[in-house]
């Protein structure tokens, strides 16, 4: 998941588009509309992750050359959710700051192990 950090190190503003849709079809139609805008990061929004699962991450990753952030808002099972998102192709995930310290630590550890 170091791709995002490398992009940030380029020291230019990044464009992140939040795909806060419920239906995957709506997200894909939106991506088609903004394809020419050189989006750096597509955020697979929490509603989309909850309604479609990590398959939404996989499909969006396969259709774009952009980084993909899975907005999982992880509150527990940090390592497990990081691994699920990573296996689906996510370059980054979100973990709630209010999550237990062990959740945050396990998410960071697993992300580091996966790359």
> How many domains does one find in the chain?
1
Spatial separation of the C-alpha atoms in residues 10 and 29, rounded to whole Å: 30
Q: How confident is the model at residue 10 (pLDDT cuts 50, 70, 90)?
A: confident
Q: How confident is the model at residue 5 (pLDDT cuts 50, 70, 90)?
A: low
For 15, the domain range is 3-114
Q: What CATH code is carried by the domain that includes residue 17?
A: 3.20.20.70
């Amino acid at each position: 998941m170091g791709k995002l950090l490398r992009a940030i190190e380029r020291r230019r503003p990044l464009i992140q588009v939040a795909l806060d849709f419920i239906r995957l079809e709506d997200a894909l139609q939106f991506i088609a509309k903004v394809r020419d805008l050189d989006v750096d990061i597509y955020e697979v929004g929490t509603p989309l992750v909850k309604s479609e699962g990590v398959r939404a991450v996989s499909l969006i990753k396969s259709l774009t050359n952009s980084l993909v952030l899975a907005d999982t808002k992880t509150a527990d099972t940090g390592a497990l959710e990081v691994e699920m998102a990573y296996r689906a192709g996510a370059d980054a995930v979100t973990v709630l700051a209010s999550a237990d310290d062990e959740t945050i630590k396990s998410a960071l550890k697993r992300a580091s192990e996966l790359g």
